[in-house]
Chain A
């Protein structure tokens, strides 16, 4: 503190010192260059981590394949540099392309979507404790998906139902928080908990009323939070709206910074607050609701990854948003590896994210207060 006070006192003397020689300029230039390098290091690390994690994960499984083999397989597949014999190639193709790759891509997609959604919600509500899970989006989306499975036939309709369910849940959470006109962190969390509980109980009702021989098993299997059933076609279909949503969130990351300073300041800085809010909430909801379509409700990712990434990349959403997408994707691929390999049988990924996430969050919460209070 005393250093800073001194610095403030001295700044009146600064203007006279401007005519220093070029050597000083050179020094600042070098320092700035190093600073830029240091600043971009976390981003580079995140960007490198994802492909590495994916390649290593491709090798993991009941049938062990080394990372080197994975690499050579893709070289042969993409560039035609022959290394493996025909039989071996067919075997590898079956395991890697048909079984493991769709699943890893699905995990990465879901991790990216949930994390970006959590980051966006936290920025737009200026609230460190919200996430797609805590706002009730996942519960709402689950209800939408269950209703879709029971009453709707087409894939597209199920996706729409999932999205509407998620949107309703956010609406109720925000509405409940707004009723009491108290803008507090806890009110929104409580609103989300109530909204989530409401949709969970409605989901139970749908399950109770569903046909126990055909519909009920499908609903339960689907919502348990497992990537076992993810097939390539399905992931591909869902990935298109998710990518659009992620792209919009990335485009609006600069606006999120300004918006998190408060609504009036944002408007005074020339931002159309209503429109930005609408677009961001819609995107964050679409993106996280659709993850339910692939693998059910996977909790905690959207809460802890934004905090974790903030510790690596800082709070600036222009960096945080891309970083959180990369970290979230890597994280869920790793967690999926654990759920596949930790035991002799597979456990639903939602259980593992909760088991890993809760202690992580307890740690993160301690550090998170620094950047927030």
Chain B
């Protein structure tokens, strides 16, 4: 059974349609990258997948069940949201931020137990950030914060990770580090849907690339099929001469793909 079945989905803010008649099926396992220019509806689509927004028309099914019929807590046990890095929080300990991932698993007015703490330690270890556990969330770097949010998703014990521009604002080293972890987790059977502004990031981890423009899917296929100079030119409105083979970006993509193989 398909993980996500999206049928003629539409969504609008006020009058303006952000997503229009979008249909898509996402299989379990693997990594799907959403690529598109600013304002193409990537973030809106991810929020619709998470059930954070209600579609104007159309339906989303998660493993055959309509998304609207699944209670929030149950949904949170299956699917985790890794938002863009933000700083608006209090300076909670990193450990306590990851502990929040245990919320959907613990009784409504209960407390976190020994098992929750163990799971949080495991999640921190898996992301290689155990040494950050006692630090304040606001005092670590952006890249580390992103890893903390992924660790929280792990602690949530969700199998599906929805990530909104996870590499945004990270330096090169942290980008590579994060993509590396995503690769590792995907190999362990987790499903990823993430949006990105970097075609090379899609190439590095995704098994499938969905290109969105003005709320519609214009291309959907393996990185090899979709990340061509012609399609990228179409997606971002660039003349293909700027993206021709031998160009810096093309070379970068080839190198990444070579490294992956």
At the interface, yes or no: A93 with Cβ under 8 Å from chain B? Answer: no
Query: Are A270 and B81 neighbours in the complex by a CB distance under 8 Å?
Result: no
Given contacts A11-B128, A126-B88, A261-B89, contact A371 B138 (CB under 8 A): yes
Query: Are B100 and A258 neighbours in the complex by a CB distance under 8 Å?
Result: yes
Residues of A contacting B131 in the complex (Cβ-Cβ under 8 angstroms) = 4, 7, 11
Between A251, A261, A268, the greatest number of chain B beta carbons within 10 A of the residue's beta carbon is seen for A268
Query: Are B136 and A371 neighbours in the complex by a CB distance under 8 Å?
Result: yes
Residues of B contacting A12 in the complex (Cβ-Cβ under 8 angstroms) = 128
Query: Are B103 and A270 neighbours in the complex by a CB distance under 8 Å?
Result: yes
Interface residues of A in 203-260 (CB under 8 A from B): 251, 254-255, 257-258, 260
Mask: chain A, 58-96; 1 = CB below 8 Å from B; 0 = not = 000000000000000000000000000000000000000
Q: How many residues of B contact A (CB 8 A)?
A: 42
At the interface, yes or no: B118 with Cβ under 8 Å from chain A? Answer: no
Identify which of A8, A265, A271, A316 contacts B96 (C-beta below 8 A): A316
> Complex formed: what's the CA distance from A272 to B109 in Å?
13
Residues of B contacting A265 in the complex (Cβ-Cβ under 8 angstroms) = 81, 83
Given contacts A8-B128, A370-B91, contact A270 B75 (CB under 8 A): yes
Q: How many residues of A contact B (CB 8 A)?
A: 33
Identify which of B86, B91, B144, B177 contacts A371 (C-beta below 8 A): B91
At the interface, yes or no: A24 with Cβ under 8 Å from chain B? Answer: no
Mask: chain B, 192-216; 1 = CB below 8 Å from A; 0 = not = 0000000000000000000000000
At the interface, yes or no: A14 with Cβ under 8 Å from chain B? Answer: yes
Query: Are A264 and B83 neighbours in the complex by a CB distance under 8 Å?
Result: yes
Pair count A-B, CB < 8 A? 88
Chain A residue, CB-CB nearest to B99: A257
Query: Are A257 and B96 neighbours in the complex by a CB distance under 8 Å?
Result: yes
At the interface, yes or no: A262 with Cβ under 8 Å from chain B? Answer: yes
> Complex formed: what's the CA distance from A314 to B89 in Å?
13
> Complex formed: what's the CA distance from A280 to B131 in Å?
35
> Complex formed: what's the CA distance from A8 to B156 in Å?
24
At the interface, yes or no: B57 with Cβ under 8 Å from chain A? Answer: no
Query: Are B80 and A270 neighbours in the complex by a CB distance under 8 Å?
Result: no
Interface residues of A in 308-337 (CB under 8 A from B): 310, 314-316
> Complex formed: what's the CA distance from A272 to B51 in Å?
13
CB of A126, distance to nearest CB on chain B (Å): 6
> Complex formed: what's the CA distance from A306 to B221 in Å?
53
Query: Are B90 and A371 neighbours in the complex by a CB distance under 8 Å?
Result: yes
At the interface, yes or no: A22 with Cβ under 8 Å from chain B? Answer: no
Query: Are B83 and A257 neighbours in the complex by a CB distance under 8 Å?
Result: no
Residues of A contacting B101 in the complex (Cβ-Cβ under 8 angstroms) = 269
Mask: chain A, 265-306; 1 = CB below 8 Å from B; 0 = not = 101111110000000000000000000000000000000000
Given contacts A270-B75, A372-B90, contact A264 B52 (CB under 8 A): yes
At the interface, yes or no: A21 with Cβ under 8 Å from chain B? Answer: no
At the interface, yes or no: A154 with Cβ under 8 Å from chain B? Answer: no
> Complex formed: what's the CA distance from A14 to B188 in Å?
20
Given contacts A262-B86, A315-B92, A316-B92, contact A269 B109 (CB under 8 A): no
Q: Which residues does A use to contact B, with CB under 8 Å?
A: 4, 7-8, 11-12, 14, 35, 123, 126, 251, 254-255, 257-258, 260-262, 264-265, 267-272, 310, 314-316, 370-373
- A-B pairs, top 4 by smallest CB distance, nearest first, are A270-B76, A270-B104, A268-B81, A315-B90
